[in-house]
Amino acid sequence: MSGRGMSGTEPVETQVADGIWTITLNRPERRNAIDARLQASLVAALAAFDADADARVAVLTGADPAFCAGMDLRELGTGRLDFSDNPTYADALRRCRKPVIGAINGAAVAGGFEIALGCDFLLASDRAWFADTHAKVGVLPGGGLTVHLTEAVGVRLARRLSLTGEFVDAERALRVGLVTEVVPHADLLPRATAVAAEVAARDAEMVAGLRTSYERAINLPAAEALDAEAAASRRTGIPTGTVRAATDGLITRGSAWIGTSER
């Protein structure tokens, strides 16, 4: 079941199976709002995932009914949520060298929106929605929202969403490219896990190389990114045995799909 209603008391719960880490934000009574304890636990969970030699991919979700409602405003207002010295959720996501898939089961607001945007890509429940409410609260985003939201939907729409604070439901999020797939709520975690299994089945060095190439595509001028991709491909070479086996499998799968689609 997506965004499980966790019974444990830890603010972040982890489950591990077959190289897939499921990391769940677990303050459902506060809509998984970010306080100091949740942030520290999420940073630790992502670091442990990254350091685990057997870990291949993570699925990041929330305990129902929300994905993450952003900063816990009660704690933020007291000054206890300090970003000056300790690593933040944004730091942890940036440093992670392995793919993290966001399974967005409900509201992803402000800081919660930033956590979602820090993932490699997103799947959404039909109950998911997104909003940047930083302007309404009176706090400028500091977790990468203006950068990642621009990458996801383009600068014009990103500005509109931040300046107005309007809500984006799951279907609109799919139309504008914010999420890659929308599924019924009960199917979210099984579907995200199935996609994660596809990623986990790929060669780990190949996955790391692709992620690096996409980072370069985003952060470097186009000419430099193209040169870097070509150089990385030359260094990797072409493993003929692997390519031959993969090609045979793709031909078989493709033939079966074509046969099904024509019926």
Q: At 1, is the pLDDT very low, low, confident or very high (cuts 50, 70, 90)?
A: very low
pLDDT of 156: 97
User: Could you report the per-residue pLDDT of 9-48, keeping only the tens digit for each?
Assistant: 899 999 999 999 999 999 999 999 999 999 999 999 999 9
- pLDDT average, residue stretch 88-103: 96
User: Which is nearest to 105 in space by CA: 143, 68, 153?
Assistant: 68
User: Tokens for 193?
Assistant: 């896990």
pLDDT of 218: 87
| Type of residue found at 169 | D
Q: At 2, is the pLDDT very low, low, confident or very high (cuts 50, 70, 90)?
A: very low
pLDDT of 222: 63
pLDDT of 239: 60
pLDDT of 225: 56
Residue 235: Cβ within 10 Å count: 8
Cα 177–Cα 180–Cα 185 angle in degrees, nearest 5: 120
The three-state secondary structure class of 185 is helix
pLDDT of 85: 73
Distance in angstroms (rounded) separating the CA atoms of residues 44 and 259: 48
pLDDT of 4: 44
Beta strand 107-109 with 100-104 is: unpaired
Helices 145-153, 155-164: axis angle to 10 degrees equals 130
The DSSP letter of residue 151 is: H
Residue with the bigger pLDDT between 234 and 91: it is 91
Contacts of 89 (CB under 8 A, 6+ apart): 34, 39, 42, 43, 111, 114, 115, 118, 143
Distance in angstroms (rounded) separating the CA atoms of residues 250 and 1: 31
Is pLDDT at 257 greater than 80 in this prediction? no
Residue with the bigger pLDDT between 234 and 119: it is 119
Is pLDDT at 115 greater than 90 in this prediction? yes
Residue with the bigger pLDDT between 104 and 139: it is 104
Among 30-44, 168-182, 244-258, the minimum mean pLDDT is found in: 244-258
Is pLDDT at 92 greater than 80 in this prediction? yes
Q: Could you tell me if 173 and 186 are in contact, meaning their C-beta atoms sit under 8 angstroms apart?
A: no
Residue 240: Cβ within 10 Å count: 8
Is pLDDT at 49 greater than 90 in this prediction? yes
